[in-house]
Amino acid sequence: MKNNPEDDIDALFRLPLAEFTGARNTLAAQLKQGGHRNEADRVKLLAKPSVSAWAVNQLYWMHRDVFEELIATGQRFRRGPRLVGKVANMRESLEARRDVLSQLSDLANDLLRDAGHNPSPDTMRRIVTTLEAMSAHALLPDGPTPGRLTHDVDPPSFESLASLMSSGVSREPPAPLRKSGSVTSQKAASTVDLRRLREERQAKIAAAKLSLQDAKKSLSDARATAQSLETAHKEANADAKVAEKYRREAEERLEKATAASENATRRAQDVSAELEEAAKAMEEAKRTVEKATKELESLLRESPAG
**Closest C-alpha to 149, from 46, 21, 35:** 46
pLDDT tens, position by position, 13-41:
999 999 999 999 999 999 999 998 999 99
Question: At CA 60, angle to CA 55 and CA 62, rounded to 5?
Answer: 85
pLDDT tens, position by position, 131-162:
999 888 766 667 788 999 999 998 776 555 55
pLDDT value at residue 96: 84
pTM of the model: 0.53
Confirm if 97 and 73 have CB atoms less than 8 A apart.
Answer: yes
Contacts of 33 (CB under 8 A, 6+ apart): none
**Closest C-alpha to 9, from 52, 42, 50, 35:** 42
Q: What percent of the chain shows pLDDT beyond 90? A: 36
pLDDT tens, position by position, 101-115:
999 999 999 999 999
pLDDT value at residue 233: 58
Q: Calculate mean pLDDT across residues 87-104.
A: 81
pLDDT value at residue 250: 79
In this predicted structure, the answer to whether residue 42 has a pLDDT above a threshold of 90 is: yes
In this predicted structure, the answer to whether residue 249 has a pLDDT above a threshold of 80 is: yes
pLDDT tens, position by position, 253-303:
888 888 888 988 888 898 888 888 888 988 988 999 999 999 898 898 887
- Mean per-residue pLDDT over the chain, rounded: 78
In this predicted structure, the answer to whether residue 207 has a pLDDT above a threshold of 80 is: no
Half-sphere exposure of 200 (CA within 13 A, CB side): 17
Dihedrals φ, ψ of 152, to 5°? Answer: -65, 150
Dihedrals φ, ψ of 105, to 5°? Answer: -65, -40
**Calpha distance 205→200 (Å, rounded):** 9
